[in-house]
Amino acid sequence: MAAGGGADPQVPHGGRSAARGRVVTGLLWALLIVGLWIWGRATAGAEGSAAGDPSAAAQGVGSAVPLPAAHEPLEDVARPVRLRIPELGIRAQVRRTGLDARGGVAAPSYARAGEVGWYRRGPRPGGAGAALLVGHVDTDTRRAVFYPLSTVVRGTRVQVTGADGRVMEFTVESTEVVPGDGFDAARAYGQREDGRAELKLLTCGGTYDRGTRAYSSNVVVTAYLTGTHASA
């Protein structure tokens, strides 16, 4: 999943220009969803299987664990630079990324498997919409940043620090293992509830096929903004 290039799409203001901008932006996201569908069906990884039990991860969906109220989406959000999930022991630098050659969101190289990629053409974490963060589950020789992601449970806190030092607190709402067969990209990567600032954490999951060098599924964690504070 190599990084893609190109400038961020701009939405013009006023009349037909604004409408045209919305159409262009919609088409860009449609292309992204198609690319993610391909990525979801054929994500290559390293030897072994993804961390955790997929059936256990799926239990986070629809759980009765009470969750805090959503915080309003933030304005003028800085780009993300750090990710922390204290309960999983995850601490990672966040790098801007684009699309790979197959049209999927590019994760950092395997040489930087301890880092996370943020899709820079989509929303920034904390802003309105669903921001996408991707990371590897493992490499040929070791575990990677999102190895424990499939074990996350509903209610877990996720912290994203922006370049301005502001920390955005997200709360995990659901964890799903999405099979490659019949992959529903809109459901997996789209926004779950309008009007919220959401965060999607993506990695490989399921079982690993040594012949095809691909995982059978993807782990998709959905969280939403519940607070913000200055960096300590």
For residue 220, which phi and psi values (nearest 5 degrees)? Answer: -125, 110
| 142 CB-contact burial (10 Å; exposed 0-12 / middle 13-18 / buried 19+) | exposed
Query: Considering the domain 15-230, what is its CATH architecture?
Result: Beta Barrel (2.40)
Contact 204, 46 (CB under 8 A): no
Per-residue pLDDT for the chain (232 aa), expressed as one digit of tens each?
A: 322 222 222 222 333 333 333 333 333 444 454 455 434 433 434 333 333 333 344 444 445 779 999 999 999 999 999 999 999 999 999 999 998 887 778 889 999 999 999 999 999 999 999 999 999 999 989 999 999 999 999 999 999 999 999 999 999 999 998 887 776 777 777 899 999 999 999 999 888 888 877 788 889 999 999 999 998 7
The two tokens of residue 28 are 């860009």
The ranges assigned to domains in the chain are 15-230
E-strand stretches of 39-184: 80-85, 90-97, 116-119, 129-134, 157-162, 166-179
Distance CA 37, CA 40 (A): 5
The amino acid occupying position 16 is R
